[in-house]
């Protein structure tokens, strides 16, 4: 198992629905507190750094973060705020720490596990749709930057059953379910993290959304051959080493009856803060398609797109 694989496996131990005191999140590595919430007794350690949204301290072996994120601003742009203010400058590092601090901010922002995550999902999906409708400027936010990727995926996925590999929070899966007519799109979201899939199930149930989930390695999906019409792997391969990534493409071709849709960012260097371990350009994506021996197309749109015909 490679070091990135070990880090990814460690991150699966996070329980996003675990009980915590109002305004607080804590695990063995990270403590996160909403600003204005009564913190633990004792004088706080001097801050390592203060930013626009965060105050970082270290106490023994624990990272302590105080945040000033309001509930109405709680959405997936949190990823960009953390990356820009704490991880890119080098104050914090590693995908496991990133996921724990991210989870801690969400859980401490709104009281109650399902309420906090539902607010996060509602705000994010509303922002995605606002960007689609040009109700707000594109800007440079995480949501605005990824919104064209969601739109392109929906354009490339035909009616029928869909398996979304590496679904993470499942925004794409929820958007796919939301298409009309609903009865022609049965969506299964899959991710290696059981905790993330439990979270997605809980939020989907709270929203009244008919969405199935499956926790597994994207290279070893416990489903029969040709069990879905379309398989998507959107911004997944950059998180995997080349051998693992090739196995995921092979598995997607085994599972799909009609189409495999793969998207990757084009990067000169992998973005470590987001857990990227591999970078792609058009030539590498073309080589990946050619190696399958199946008909394929490669296009450029906010990164690279590889569409495979499994027939």
Q: Which residues of the chain have pLDDT under 50?
A: 1-12, 40-42
Q: Is the Cβ–Cβ distance between 106 and 100 less than 8 Å?
A: no
Burial state string for 154-191 with b = 16 or more CB within 10 A and e = fewer than 16: bebbeeebbbbbbbbbbbbbbbbbeeeeeeebbbbbbb
- Residue 139: per-residue pLDDT: 55
Q: What is the side-by-side order of every strand in the sheet holding 187-191?
A: 212-215, 187-191, 162-165, 228-234, 256-264, 304-308, 296-300
pLDDT digits (tens, 9 = 90+) for 190-237: 999 999 999 999 999 999 988 999 999 999 999 999 999 999 999 999
- Rounded to a whole number, what is the distance in angstroms from the first to the last CA of the chain? 32
Query: Domains, the chain, ranges and CATH?
Result: 3-13+20-111 (no CATH), 145-308 (3.40.50.150)
Half-sphere exposure of 43 (CA within 13 A, CB side): 2
pLDDT digits (tens, 9 = 90+) for 276-310: 999 999 999 999 999 999 999 999 999 999 999 99
DSSP secondary structure string for all residues of 164-221 = EET-TT-HHHHHHHTSSSGGG--EEEEES-HHHHHHHHHHHHHHT---EEEES-TTS-
């Amino acid at each position: 198992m490679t070091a990135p694989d070990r880090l990814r496996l460690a991150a699966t131990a996070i329980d996003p629905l675990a009980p915590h005191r109002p305004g607080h999140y804590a695990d063995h590595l990270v403590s996160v507190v909403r600003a204005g919430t009564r913190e633990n007794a004792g004088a706080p350690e001097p801050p390592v750094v203060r930013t626009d949204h965060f105050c970082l301290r270290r106490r023994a072996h624990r990272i302590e973060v105080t945040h000033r994120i309001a509930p109405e601003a709680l959405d997936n742009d949190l990823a960009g705020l953390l990356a820009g203010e704490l991880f890119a400058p080098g104050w914090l590092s590693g995908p496991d720490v990133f996921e724990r601090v991210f989870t801690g901010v969400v859980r401490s922002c709104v009281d109650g596990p399902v309420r906090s995550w539902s607010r996060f999902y509602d705000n994010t999906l509303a922002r995605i749709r606002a960007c689609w409708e040009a109700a707000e400027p594109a800007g440079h936010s995480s949501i605005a930057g990824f919104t064209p990727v969601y739109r392109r995926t929906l354009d490339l996925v035909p009616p029928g059953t869909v398996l979304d590999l590496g679904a993470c929070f499942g925004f794409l899966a929820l958007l796919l379910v939301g298409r009309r007519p609903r009865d022609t799109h049965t969506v299964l979201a899959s991710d290696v993290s059981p905790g993330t899939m439990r979270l997605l199930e809980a939020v989907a149930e709270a929203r009244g959304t008919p969405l199935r989930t499956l926790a597994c390695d994207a290279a070893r999906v416990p489903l029969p051959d040709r069990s879905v019409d379309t398989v998507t792997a959107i911004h997944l391969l950059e998180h995997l080493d080349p051998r693992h990534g090739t196995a995921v493409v092979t598995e997607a071709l085994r599972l799909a009856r009609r189409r495999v849709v793969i998207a990757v960012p084009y990067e000169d260097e992998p973005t470590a803060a987001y857990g990227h371990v591999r970078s792609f350009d058009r030539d590498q994506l073309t080589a990946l398609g050619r190696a399958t021996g199946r008909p394929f197309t490669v296009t450029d749109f906010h990164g690279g797109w590889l569409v495979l015909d499994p027939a």
